[in-house]
Each structure stands twice: as C-alpha cells, then as structure tokens.
Amino acid sequence: MQGKAQLSDSNRRIMELDAPPRRVYQAWKGSNLFFLGGRLIFGPDVRSLVLTVCLIIVPVIFFAAAVCPQLGHEFHSQIGGWAASVAMIFTAYILAILLLTSSRDPGIVPRNSHPPEPEDIDGSSNLPDWPGGQQGSTGLPLTRDVLVNGVSVKVKYCHTCMLYRPPRCSHCSICNNCVERFDHHCPWVGQCIGKRNYQFFFVFVSSTTLLCIYVFAFCWVNLRRIMDTHQCKIGGLTSFHLYLISTNQTTYENFRYHYDWRTNPYNLGVGRNFADVLFSSVPSSKHNFRAKVKDDSSAFTSSLSMGRVLSPPKMSVDLEMGMKRQAVAAEDLEDLHSQIGSAMGLERCGTEPPHFVGRKGCSEMSSDIEAFAEEFGMERGFNERKKIERRTNDDS
C-alpha cells in the first residue's frame, strides 16, 4: 500500500511538472468572463450587450427599409439611398466602439497574493484607524495618505485585493476587481468604465446620440412631407385633450355648452384639474357583471295572473308545434276523424247532445275543429267531408 501511495505521489509530481502552466485568465479570481483565450475580457453581465445591440440595430433597419425609400420617392432623388448608407456605416462604427468599450481591460489593479508587510507602511498611515488584526491584516491601517500634485489624499485598503487602492481607484462589487479611475459599472456595455476604456465609452455614447439625431431628423423630414401631401396635422388630439383636462371639461361639454373660465362649475384650477382627472382614484363599478340573473318565470307568472299573456317567440311556437305533430299517434288521428264526423252530423240535423249544453254551438264547434285540423295538415280530408255533406243536402 505504501508503494502504491509513493508511486501515486511520484506520478502526481511528474504530472504537475509535465502539465502546461495555467494562464492568468484561467486562474482569475474576479467575476469577469474571458473569450478567445483571454484576449477579450467582459463583465459578468455581458449578456446585456445583446439588448444594447438590438436597440441600436433594429431602429436603423426600419429606417433604411421604410423611411429611406419613402424619402427617395418624395424627393425624386437618391437621397434615400445615401441616407441609408450613412446610417448603416455609422452603425457599424458605433458597434465597433461598443466592442472596444466592453471587451477591454478597464484598468484592473493586479491583486496581491498576500497582504503588504507592516514595515512597508510609512509614517503617513492613520494610526487611529488601525484595524488591529482585522481579516488577517495584522498591523495594517485602514487608510493611508498619499500626495497627489502636492495635495494629501486618503486611500483605502482593499481586503479583497489585499492592497492599498491607488487614488481615484474603487472596488467594483459586480466584477469583484479594483479598477483605476473607476467611473461606474455600465450594465448596457456589460463592463466597468475606468482608466483604460473611458475614452471609448464617451465616443460610444456621443456617437449613439448623433445617430439618434440623424435618424430622427430624416424621419421628421419624411413626416413633414407626408403631412403637407395629405394636409393633416399630428398631435392635435393630444393638445385638445390637454386643454380639456386643464379646464376640467369633457368633449361633449366643450361642444355642447361652450364653457369658459367663469361659467364652468367644474373648473378647480389647472393644477387641481389635472389632479382630479389623472390622479384621482377610479370609482368602483355600479354593476356586478358576474352576479347571477334572477329567473324570469316569476315575471311570466305575474303577467298571467294580471290577464296579460306573454306571446312566446315564433321560433319556440314552431318547435312546439313540430313536437306536437310528431307526438300525435295514428289512433289519435282516427278519433279526430270521428269527432269531425259527429260534428258535421250535428250541424246537419241542427241538434246538440245533452253534454254540449252551455258550451259552443255546432257551427262554432265545427269552425274550431276546422282550424285545429288545418293546423295538423288535415285540411284535405276535412274538405272532402264537406263535399260529401253538400251532396247529401242536395239529394235530400
């Protein structure tokens, strides 16, 4: 077992000697991200660059594809093509500056592998701020004074990087590095802005501003041409409603009553009018649209009790009559035929059976039965029985 252990230890030493040395970016203790073998260094939020690039490219694409052709058509020249070409070249230049701003070392101060020795600290240190062994930095003061152009400036000790920060240096909590002439950490470029990339950052910001002005100017020229061609104005509705809000009027009141400052009872002053219209709480609705609706059968019953029968819709009548026609059986039709025959006989002889006393007469009963027969499609048989009756009367 010991031989194996010794063999493994020796092998481990041989592997360590034969292994290629690690590069600085591979052993980096900060939060930076490296690409192309350490040639490009970004902050940990480098993904925000995608949004920044889209915000620059997408408007330029719409400008070149929509506005520039319209400009060429309006002015009957090559101005649209030139405007698009300049915009695209300027955009490429801005993207290059953006890459230089975000992919360069912003001025990171190298870390120390161990804290500085106390004897290396001169007498300019502030003894009242002595940490007294804080985080293993025994005997190191928190601040020290350095001369900058003859002026004494305090610099702080960084416990993370184990060094006294140079003047105008600060530790970035996002990248976890001390950066010289630290300006800020810009999330739009995903990198700290410091001594080595501030110039590129300023050029990027100013160039982007010029690109916005350039695109906006041509868009405004195109918009003015469209307004002059179609005789229209933009922003009139917004201005009109700003006037209505400032005087606390509605559009209807303005056209109907023609309020002025004296006769408008709702005018509270410009400030209170804006507060009343735009910043007042929205009142609750006077309707509960999710509430259950009461059944209308009670209303139908009450109307029947008062003698007012509600006529159902025609569609429901047709459906009911269809169901009735299907429900009538063959034997019911035979009974109906017999009732019709007896009614015809009563009408012919002019007599009524005792159980018809106090009810409708023969003629009225026959007319009712005739209407009922027509409803069920029995008009043909009823007419045939009428013809037979007339022939019998003529023979008699």
Note whether residue 18 is domain-resident. no
Residues 334 and 272 placed together within one structural domain of the fold: no
Residues 6+ apart with CB under 8 A from 193: 101, 106, 182, 183, 184, 185, 186, 201
Instruction: Tell me what the mean pLDDT of segment 326-334 comes to.
Output: 50
Q: Which of the two residues, 111 and 263, has the higher pLDDT score?
A: 111
Tokens 């490296």 belong to which residue?
34
**Model pTM?**
0.54
- Best mean pLDDT range from 242-256, 283-297, 380-394: 242-256
Note whether residue 98 is domain-resident. no
Note whether residue 232 is domain-resident. no
Residues 341 and 387 placed together within one structural domain of the fold: yes
Structure tokens at 125: 């240190």
Alpha-carbon gap, residue 17 to 4, rounded angstroms: 20
Rounded to the nearest integer, the mean pLDDT of the chain is: 74
Per DSSP, the chain holds a count of helices (H) and strands (E) of 13, 9
Structural domain ending residue among the three candidates 168, 200, 235: 168
Domain ranges, residue 259: 246-280
Predicted confidence at residue 54, as pLDDT, reads 95
Beta-carbon-side half-sphere exposure of residue 350 (alpha carbons within 13 Å)? 1
Tokens 């002005």 belong to which residue?
213
Predicted confidence at residue 137, as pLDDT, reads 46
Note whether residue 77 is domain-resident. no
Alpha-carbon radius of gyration of the chain:
49
pLDDT at 57 over 60: yes
Q: Which of the two residues, 60 and 355, has the higher pLDDT score?
A: 60
Note whether residue 329 is domain-resident. yes
Burial of 156 per CB tally in 10 Å (0-12, 13-18, 19+)? middle
- Residue 261: pLDDT band with limits 50, 70, 90: low
Catalytically annotated residue among 186, 219, 232, 362: 186
186 included as an active-site residue: yes
Note whether residue 391 is domain-resident. yes
50: helix, strand or coil: helix
Residues 338 and 391 placed together within one structural domain of the fold: yes
**Residue 372 neighbours by CB distance under 10 Å:** 14
Alpha-carbon gap, residue 166 to 171, rounded angstroms: 11
Tally of structural domains, the chain: 3
Predicted confidence at residue 222, as pLDDT, reads 85
Using a CB cutoff of 8 Å and minimum separation of 24, what contacts does 389-396 make?
A: 389/344, 389/348, 392/348, 393/348
* Bridge partner residues of 145 (DSSP): 154
Note whether residue 270 is domain-resident. yes
Residues 270 and 335 placed together within one structural domain of the fold: no
Question: Do residues 266 and 249 touch, judged by C-beta distance below 8 A?
Answer: yes
Residues 323 and 374 placed together within one structural domain of the fold: yes
- Convert the pLDDT of each residue in 3-32 to its tens digit: 444 456 656 555 555 667 788 888 888 888
Structural domain ending residue among the three candidates 140, 168, 196: 168
- Residue 332: pLDDT band with limits 50, 70, 90: low
pLDDT at 112 over 50: yes
How many degrees, rounded to 5, is the angle at CA 10 between CA 5 and CA 11?
95
Note whether residue 203 is domain-resident. no
Alpha-carbon gap, residue 147 to 213, rounded angstroms: 44
Q: Which of the two residues, 301 and 65, has the higher pLDDT score?
A: 65
Instruction: Tell me what the mean pLDDT of segment 152-175 comes to.
Output: 90
Structural domain ending residue among the three candidates 230, 260, 280: 280
